[in-house]
């Protein structure tokens, strides 16, 4: 299965990072695996019953963790052939896809081009020569283009999870809760912190999609 994943038409040097992410799957803790197993069961049932599943990764500002999860979930779903599983992201308010997030994705091997200017530009994130680029920009979780109903609200931070007891349109809520790499902004550890969070999220998304695909 690993060799099949690496044979996908990944862009640039992304294949190398994916190989590293696949290795990191084995380091996901038992507690997180048990939690992700439960999520995978629910997502697999949705795919079976509805013939599609929609995951909306939600943070307060849709600038860091939710974008990393959106990207890695899309890549992992592609790797495991889950063609009817779609990933999205949003926030309770819109700011911008943080440039540090973009830089970390570039370091992983994604090919990213900036589209437009202003305070909230779009970034086209290419991961495969056989799939469309992911359009990354900050938006509220229920903005047009994101699912309006019957989606999984993948809560990426505890703050927004606690502040939003109701996520309109969601039929299930999964509290992922990742630590915000923003804490390292402007420090010598900034790049390493963003890359570590990206790797953590990537490994968990690959584990999650592997489990969904096995159901």
Q: Which residues on neighbouring strands pair with residue 173, listed in sequence order? A: 153
Token couple for 33: 């695996």
pLDDT of 11 above 70: yes
Model confidence over 133-176: pLDDT tens digits? 999 999 999 999 999 999 999 999 887 777 666 798 999 999 99
Q: How far is residue 30's CA from residue 101's CA, in Å, rounded to a whole number?
A: 28
Sign of CA pseudo-dihedral 1, 88, 198, 211: negative
Per the prediction, the chain carries an average pLDDT of 95
Q: How far is residue 56's CA from residue 125's CA, in Å, rounded to a whole number?
A: 17
Nearest of 107, 102, 170, 190 to residue 138 by alpha carbon: 102
Nearest of 38, 25, 44 to residue 202 by alpha carbon: 25
**What pLDDT, on the 0 to 100 scale, is given for residue 163?**
67
Model confidence over 74-89: pLDDT tens digits? 999 999 999 999 999 9
Give the CA distances from residue 7 to residues 11, 18, 80, 199, in Å, rounded to whole numbers and listed in that order: 11, 11, 12, 20
Three-state SS string over the chain comes to CHHHHHCCCECCCHHHHHHHHHHHHCCCCHHHHHHHHHHHHHHHHHHHHHCCEEEEEEECCCCCHHHHHHHHHHHHHHHCCCCCEEEEEEECCCCCCCHHHHHHHHHHCCEEEEECCCCCCEEEEECECCCCCEEECCCECCCECECCCCEEEEECCHHHHHHCCCCCCEEEEEECCCCCHHHHCCCCCHHHHHHHHHHHHHHHHHHHHHHHHHC
Model confidence over 17-58: pLDDT tens digits? 999 999 999 999 999 999 999 999 999 999 999 999 999 999
């Amino acid at each position: 299965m690993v060799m099949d994943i690496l044979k996908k038409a990944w862009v640039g040097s992304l294949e190398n990072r994916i190989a590293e992410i696949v290795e990191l799957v084995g380091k996901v803790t038992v507690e997180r695996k048990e939690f992700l197993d439960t999520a995978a069961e629910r997502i697999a049932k949705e795919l079976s019953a509805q013939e599609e599943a929609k995951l909306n990764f939600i943070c307060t500002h849709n600038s860091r963790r939710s974008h990393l999860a959106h990207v890695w979930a899309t890549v992992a779903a592609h790797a495991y052939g889950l063609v009817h599983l779609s990933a999205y992201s949003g926030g309770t308010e819109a700011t911008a896809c943080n440039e540090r997030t973009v830089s970390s994705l570039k370091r992983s091997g994604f090919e990213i081009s900036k589209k437009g200017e202003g305070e909230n530009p779009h970034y086209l994130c290419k991961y495969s020569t056989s799939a469309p680029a992911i359009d990354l920009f900050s938006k509220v979780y229920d903005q047009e283009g994101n699912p309006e109903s019957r989606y999984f609200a993948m809560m990426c931070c505890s703050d927004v999870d606690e502040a939003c007891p109701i996520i309109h349109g969601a039929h299930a809520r999964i509290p992922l809760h990742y630590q915000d790499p923003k804490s390292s902004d402007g420090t010598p550890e900034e790049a390493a912190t963003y890359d570590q969070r990206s790797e953590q999220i990537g490994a968990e998304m690959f584990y999650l999609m592997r489990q969904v695909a096995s159901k």
